[in-house]
Structure 1
Amino acid sequence: MNNEFIFAIDTIWVLVASALVFFMQAGFAMVETGFTRAKNAGNIIMKNLMDFCIGSLVYWCIGFSIMFGLSNGGFIGNLSLFSNMSIAHLELTIPKEAFLIFQTVFCATAATIVSGAMAERTKFSSYLVYSFFISLIVYPVVGHWIWGGGWLSELGFMDFAGSTVVHSVGGWSALVGAWVIGPRIGKYNSQGKPQAIPGHSLTLGALGVFILWLGWFGFNPGSTLSGMDYNGISHIFITTNLAAAASTVVAMMITWVRYGKPDVSMTLNGSLAGLVGITAGTDVVSPMGAVAIGIIAGIAIVYGVEFVDKVLKIDDPVGAVGVHGICGSIGTIAVGLFAVEGGLFYGGGVSLLLVQLTGVAAVALWTCSTTFILFKVIKSTIGLRVPADEELKGLDIEEHGIESYADFQPKSIPNISNI
């Protein structure tokens, strides 16, 4: 089989996977829209649209070279404007442009996670500024450490498709952003007890979860970067699906026992928790290990969301911190336990587990510190939060001058007796 044919198959596979990951933007938009109130639907859709567009331009211009340029001390890649650098050191079997678009949609995923956690009270202009900087520097630096030949890569840190690189970066950014901006009006009563603010459409939320589950079949298997690796791709499809299914079942069962009825929104988040959790080790764990990781994620999401809401008192309308931050970190650490080669439970000792713990802690520290500075600067300059009256009316009207669910009923109703 000649090299040109292999390159063609690999390239086609990566581009198809890129399209699937891009479609995840629609999934995030539907989940966030469905889990929040109707008066803010258009605002959320605009944020999910624009963080992708801004991120694409900034990542192409600067972020890609920071992530994959020749390493400076293992911390950051050499800067090269407009991705005008060689990536021969990565030894890929696909064109640079195919690799660039695949990495671009990953960058957009990290950025869009924050939208849900800060929903219903964030200025649109401020969110655009945040999207610019996470795509410019916050995400690319972490990506360089782990995927670009940086210091964590040299330690042997394993994060195959981004439980930490993508999801934890988004999750910790969401945690800091939701903390800095404060809870929505009415979320906590005078005694500090959280009050439920139901979303307006579980149907949209469920649609979003199914779209994301589909997209994950590009997210994880596509990270092989090789359509010729049919055995590896097939294995990753199975481990991805099993972890998601196990986490969903466990989340449903826990809520059924704790609340007396199976909770729909938490069960949907259970699906996402399993998908996030398996992403780091999907290529190196067995199907049984994938189920175990899914079970852990299903437990973590229920208690993680409650911890953020009730103990930290941070208002996260869609559970983004629990899904992406907590489950992303747990899934990455679990590689040190369940990897069939090097995992603690497979006789590999604690060395890989310690490396995984080090990487998770380093990424959390970097992301929380940089985004704290970013959100504080935005808050003290252009402002981070809309005024109270705008929040009560809804961001669709005040930020965009529209209603997502317009009332088309005529203002004067004819007398039907004359018809």
Structure 2
Amino acid sequence: MEASWEASVTDSINTIYLLFSAYLVFVMQLGFAMLCAGSVRAKNAMNIMLTNVVDAVVGSISYYLFGFAFAFGDGSSSNPFIGTEFFALKDIPNSSYDYSYFLYQWAFAIAVSGITSGSIAERTQFSAYLVFSFFLTGFVYPVVVHWVWSSSGWLSPSSTSLIFSSGAIDFAGSGVVHLVGGIAGLWGSLIEGPRVGRFDAFGKPVPMRGHNATLVVLGTFLLWFGWFGFNPGSFDKILVAYPDTSNQGNWTGIGRTAVTTALAGSTAGLVTLFGRRLLVGHWDALDVCNGLLGGFVAITSGCAVVEPWAAIVCGFFSAWVLIGLNILALKLKFDDPLEATQLHGGCGAWGLLFTGLFAKEEFIVQAYNSGETGVVRPYGLLLGGGWGLLGAQVIEVLVIVGWVSITMGPLFYALHRLEILRISVDEEVAGLDISSHGGYAYTAHPEDTPRYYADYMRLQNQ
């Protein structure tokens, strides 16, 4: 009876912790909405807020109907590449997963399409958002989840058949979440092309600053807050006890995971602050916010398996990855209003490689083998752990880039050919709020001038 009571308490605490983490991750949707709204021009603020709502509501339905089954369906035992039992949620009470686990995974899933939305902001038809959000959340993203996070996935570090005797360690999703969203955004932005006026006749970039720095900073802090559910929350079985101990388990790594998350983001923000000061000649709050988020994206892969000092290294290099990719994007005339491809794609890829270089064996055993004694696993190359883990990390980067490219690339191209992807030039100049949503987000805003009124009247008379 006592053992049964202890098991019940353990399950209850795990459920409460997992649900609380899910709520924190869901708060990130509000963070994305505020960050995106502040980063676009005022004439598109209502549109970008609506797309963030749509990402959540459409993603909820598609992930319930299809996504969770592709990710964790029971039919995957003979197929390591994709789960096959549709509507797997009906079997949750009798499986190793429960409803709280579904909710936690759902909160991750709806974040992916939010990343992609930022890349194609200010020039995309609303109907296109509905299509790509459903497909990305219901199929493309869950397949990657199955590869890396399902115990039967071929890249999973918890698989019975470990690739390179290691499996790819992507603890909370630098690759699974952020690289997927970033590469999808890359294809959407490439196929749509730059916004009207982003580059002049000589190919030089024209600044298109967001209209509200306050919202950007608010969104950044909300995302920071949510990341404490995103990363530490991924210890979903927190009270699994260590062998030969009575008071330790996976929960001992939760505090360290929160610390590495904070340190990586803070370092990246600081490096971006000074780096951009040297490049542009002034202190830029918006650049610091993106640098901060780049550090969070990068540490998400290895947050549970690296030392705090290594997290500082991660953040330092993630800042330069972001700065370098932004410079490259301008040279290539690539227009991503939220820098989502560079931030989530570039820093996500760096985060996976970083884990392969700096992961500590003791922490890997803690996170993936519940501290089992005598277990030997490949770990960070620079710590003497060999090439196995780094090799698996490289494989994850390559297969995610390939998979998302062969699925989302054709989808965006098909939407383009059907003329339901990009809005017209007149609509873009007038702004999506007035042309597609019936009015501006603000009663009065910086762009409420006679020129924009004339654009509105012209659209009304067409």
TM-score range, shorter chain: over 0.9
**Is the 1:14–1:227 contact (alpha carbons within 8 Å) kept by the matching residues of 2?**
no
Rounded Cα–Cα distance in structure 2 between residues aligned with 1:251 and 1:87: 47
**Paired residue for 1:143?**
145
**Paired residue for 1:75?**
81
RMSD of aligned Cα (Å) = 1.5
Determine if the alignment matches structure 1 residue 407 to structure 2 residue 444. yes
Determine if the alignment matches structure 1 residue 332 to structure 2 residue 352. yes
**Paired residue for 1:298?**
319
**Paired residue for 1:390?**
427
**Is the 1:34–1:205 contact (alpha carbons within 8 Å) kept by the matching residues of 2?**
yes
**Paired residue for 2:405?**
368
Q: Post-superposition shift, 1:407?
A: 3.3
Rounded Cα–Cα distance in structure 1 between residues aligned with 2:418 and 2:201: 30
The amino acid across from 2:27 in the alignment is: F
Determine if the alignment matches structure 1 residue 112 to structure 2 residue 114. yes
Determine if the alignment matches structure 1 residue 10 to structure 2 residue 22. no
| TM-score, with structure 1 as normaliser | 0.93
Rounded Cα–Cα distance in structure 1 between residues aligned with 2:181 and 2:327: 19
The amino acid across from 1:131 in the alignment is: S
Rounded Cα–Cα distance in structure 2 between residues aligned with 1:145 and 1:382: 34
Q: Post-superposition shift, 1:253?
A: 1.2
**Paired residue for 1:203?**
214
The amino acid across from 1:152 in the alignment is: L
Q: Post-superposition shift, 1:381?
A: 2.2
Rounded Cα–Cα distance in structure 2 between residues aligned with 1:167 and 1:53: 20
- 2:121 aligns to what SS in structure 1? coil
**Is the 1:34–1:203 contact (alpha carbons within 8 Å) kept by the matching residues of 2?**
yes
The amino acid across from 1:127 in the alignment is: Y
Rounded Cα–Cα distance in structure 2 between residues aligned with 1:171 and 1:5: 40
The equivalences for 1:282-293 within 5 A come to: 282-293=303-314
Rounded Cα–Cα distance in structure 1 between residues aligned with 2:211 and 2:280: 21
Determine if the alignment matches structure 1 residue 217 to structure 2 residue 221. no
- Aligned partner of 2:99 among 97, 122, 130: 97
- Aligned partner of 2:269 among 240, 248, 256: 248
Rounded Cα–Cα distance in structure 1 between residues aligned with 2:91 and 2:411: 28
1:334-366, CA deviations, whole angstroms, 9 ceiling, x for partnerless residues? 111010121011110112111100111110111
The amino acid across from 1:366 in the alignment is: W
1:117-145, CA deviations, whole angstroms, 9 ceiling, x for partnerless residues? 11100001111111010011100111111
**Paired residue for 1:411?**
none
The amino acid across from 1:151 in the alignment is: W
Determine if the alignment matches structure 1 residue 84 to structure 2 residue 90. yes
Determine if the alignment matches structure 1 residue 258 to structure 2 residue 302. no
- 1:355 aligns to what SS in structure 2? helix
Structure 1: gaps spanning 5 or more residues: 409-419
- 2:91 aligns to what SS in structure 1? coil
Rounded Cα–Cα distance in structure 2 between residues aligned with 1:181 and 1:259: 28
The amino acid across from 1:407 in the alignment is: A
**Is the 1:247–1:295 contact (alpha carbons within 8 Å) kept by the matching residues of 2?**
yes
**Is the 2:73–2:88 contact (alpha carbons within 8 Å) kept by the matching residues of 1?**
no
Rounded Cα–Cα distance in structure 1 between residues aligned with 2:251 and 2:146: 27
Determine if the alignment matches structure 1 residue 179 to structure 2 residue 190. yes
Q: Post-superposition shift, 1:22?
A: 0.5
The amino acid across from 1:247 in the alignment is: A
- 1:27 aligns to what SS in structure 2? helix
Rounded Cα–Cα distance in structure 2 between residues aligned with 1:87 and 1:315: 46
**Is the 1:162–1:280 contact (alpha carbons within 8 Å) kept by the matching residues of 2?**
yes
**Paired residue for 1:152?**
155
- Aligned partner of 2:44 among 40, 55, 71: 40
Q: Which 4+ stretches in 1 moved above 6 angstroms?
A: none
**Is the 2:93–2:99 contact (alpha carbons within 8 Å) kept by the matching residues of 1?**
no
Determine if the alignment matches structure 1 residue 357 to structure 2 residue 394. yes
| TM-score, with structure 2 as normaliser | 0.85
The amino acid across from 1:135 in the alignment is: T
Aligned-pair identity in percent equals 41
Change (3 A) 1:285 1:378: same
**Is the 1:176–1:372 contact (alpha carbons within 8 Å) kept by the matching residues of 2?**
yes
Q: Post-superposition shift, 1:226?
A: 3.5
Determine if the alignment matches structure 1 residue 276 to structure 2 residue 297. yes
Change (3 A) 1:87 1:250: farther
Rounded Cα–Cα distance in structure 2 between residues aligned with 1:191 and 1:361: 35
**Paired residue for 1:321?**
341
**Is the 1:62–1:79 contact (alpha carbons within 8 Å) kept by the matching residues of 2?**
no
Rounded Cα–Cα distance in structure 2 between residues aligned with 1:88 and 1:327: 38
Change (3 A) 1:406 1:82: farther
The amino acid across from 2:228 in the alignment is: F
The amino acid across from 2:142 in the alignment is: P
The amino acid across from 1:327 in the alignment is: C
